[in-house]
């Protein structure tokens, strides 16, 4: 082979190799849906965020994106989203939203309605829990995609109940009877734990207990309906529960009540289903494998209803790249990614295919309980209405009822006081009856 021919041959070979490399690079990039993009996310300190933090490196590798994940406490997320809406351009592509903020955020034009994007992309909602899908709406518009529904249910010590031949309670009367039977302060073991901390934690619990006694917070004209016979019954229920609660119940919020139970300090606890990992993780819980889950008890003369909260993932209305944000939201809420989040520790799931997955049910025994409640149509959100005044009402509940639990006022005085405060607030905000 002559030198000229050999040089030409090598030149052609190198050209072919370079062309293959040139083809291979775009092909590899094509397998990464967000290659070269930066995705900015604001999440609350909840299980789905913790799970995302655990696998964010793998998510970046799979997508080719740089994922900037900011995780902050509950009140901070609320404030950041409102402040972000006032800017010319959003600092985030996606944000986590508590459904109780939907009314306030709609009024502030903080979020992008997704209906047009859902229709154009033919996004399939059939796998989502019906209650979860509808709860991410405001005024008939879809404002987010469900990410973490969290019904507040009753966790109970299955091993103790079985040993003593006790059936889990269905009514509030049954719960009180069991709490009294199992309460043992001398052994630092208590009958029941719940949210008793001042402010939002207790405020949420009050709304849920009003629901257990069939009492809505407003009438059809949005006049507060807080000082009623059933409202007083809910207040007295708190006072009865306190007899069988830990001594620090007035400082106990969402995670504290779960930890009390997980460390073997309570027979029962009102708690979000999405936080069941706190009881099922054997490295942090002494009751792992010994926990049962049932619907929230209701008053004997009222229908069964389980309060359902939810975190959805939404897009700010002033987002810079709407197409990129929507494509990411679709991808992140897909079956594959939600299953990865479940495997990483998120025990609150919005898709039937996830809560019915045999592999995941072994990790989260709470899934079948949530599925059963959903199938009965008992998951409801009316006890925490998505109106701009909800945060104020929750704080009012949580402040006034804390006074009641501290012994400063009676249940009758508590319900009367919250009624007077909320009537004044609604009038101030322009409501007329």
Task: Compute the average pLDDT of residues 22-42.
Answer: 70
Report the largest interatomic distance among the alpha carbons of the chain, rounded to a whole angstrom: 106
Instruction: State pLDDT tens for residues 337-378.
Output: 999 999 999 989 999 999 999 999 999 999 999 999 999 999
Decide if 180 is inside a domain: yes
Q: Return the ∠ at Cα 137 (arms to 133 and 141), rounded to 5°.
A: 120
pLDDT, residue 52, reads 97
In this structure, are 271 and 416 located in the same domain? yes
**Residue 7 above 70 pLDDT?**
no
Instruction: State pLDDT tens for residues 118-146.
Output: 999 999 999 999 989 999 999 899 999 99
Q: Note the pTM of the prediction, 2 decimals.
A: 0.86
pLDDT, residue 386, reads 83
Question: How many distinct structural domains can be found in the chain?
Answer: 2
Domain range for 182 is 151-308+387-428
Task: Compute the average pLDDT of residues 156-161.
Answer: 98
In this structure, are 176 and 276 located in the same domain? yes
| Beta-strand pair 38-44/66-72 | parallel
pLDDT, residue 30, reads 52
Closest CA to 219 of 81, 62, 422: 422
Decide if 7 is inside a domain: no
The pLDDT confidence band at residue 12, using thresholds 50, 70 and 90, is: very low
In this structure, are 186 and 279 located in the same domain? yes
Decide if 10 is inside a domain: no
In this structure, are 284 and 422 located in the same domain? yes
d(CA 378, CA 62): 38
Instruction: State pLDDT tens for residues 20-29.
Output: 333 333 333 4
In this structure, are 174 and 318 located in the same domain? no
In this structure, are 199 and 331 located in the same domain? no
Decide if 344 is inside a domain: yes
Looking at every residue in the chain, the average pLDDT score rounds to 92
CATH number at residue 395: 3.40.190.10
In this structure, are 240 and 365 located in the same domain? no
d(CA 23, CA 7): 24
In this structure, are 301 and 364 located in the same domain? no
Decide if 228 is inside a domain: yes
In this structure, are 53 and 125 located in the same domain? yes
Instruction: State pLDDT tens for residues 258-312.
Output: 999 999 999 999 999 999 999 999 999 999 999 999 999 999 999 999 999 899 9
């Amino acid at each position: 082979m002559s030198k000229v021919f050999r040089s030409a041959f090598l030149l052609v070979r190198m050209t072919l190799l370079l062309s293959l490399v040139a083809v291979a690079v775009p092909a590899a990039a094509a397998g990464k849906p967000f290659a070269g993009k930066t995705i900015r996310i604001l999440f609350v300190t909840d299980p789905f965020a913790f799970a995302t933090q655990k696998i964010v490196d793998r998510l970046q590798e799979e997508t080719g994106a740089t994922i900037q994940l900011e995780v902050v406490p509950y009140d901070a997320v609320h404030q950041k989203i409102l402040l972000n809406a006032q800017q010319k351009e959003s600092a985030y592509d996606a944000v986590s939203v508590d459904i109780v903020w939907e009314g306030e955020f709609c009024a502030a034009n903080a979020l992008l309605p997704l209906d047009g994007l859902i229709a154009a992309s033919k996004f399939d909602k059939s796998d989502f829990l019906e209650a979860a899908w509808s709860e991410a709406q405001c005024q008939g518009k879809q404002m987010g995609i469900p990410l973490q529904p969290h019904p507040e249910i009753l966790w109970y010590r299955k091993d103790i109940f079985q040993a003593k031949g006790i059936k889990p309670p269905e009514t509030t009367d049954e719960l009180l009877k069991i709490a009294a039977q199992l309460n043992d302060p001398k052994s630092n073991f208590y009958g029941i734990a719940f949210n008793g901390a001042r402010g939002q934690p207790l405020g949420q619990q009050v709304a849920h207990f009003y629901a257990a006694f069939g009492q809505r917070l407003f009438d059809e004209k949005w006049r507060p309906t807080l000082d009623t016979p059933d409202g007083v019954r809910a207040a007295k229920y708190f006072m009865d529960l306190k007899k069988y609660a830990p001594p620090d119940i007035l400082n106990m919020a969402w995670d504290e009540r779960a930890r009390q139970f997980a460390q073997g300090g309570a027979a029962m606890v009102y708690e979000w289903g999405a936080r069941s990992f706190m009881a099922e993780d054997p490295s942090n819980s002494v009751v792992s494998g010994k926990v049962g889950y049932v619907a929230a008890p209701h008053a004997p003369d009222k229908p069964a209803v389980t309060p359902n909260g939810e975190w959805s993932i939404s897009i700010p209305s002033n987002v810079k790249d709407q197409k990129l944000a929507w494509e990411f939201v679709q991808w992140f809420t897909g079956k594959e990614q939600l299953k990865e989040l479940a495997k990483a520790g998120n025990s609150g799931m919005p898709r039937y295919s996830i809560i019915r997955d045999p592999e995941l049910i072994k990790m989260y025994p709470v899934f079948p309980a949530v599925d059963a409640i959903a199938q009965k149509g008992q998951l409801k959100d009316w006890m925490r209405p998505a109106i701009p005044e909800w945060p104020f009402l929750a704080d009012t509940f949580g402040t006034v009822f804390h006074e009641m639990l501290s012994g400063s006022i009676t249940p009758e005085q508590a319900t009367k006081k919250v009624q007077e405060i909320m009537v004044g607030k609604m009038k101030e905000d322009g409501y007329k009856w």
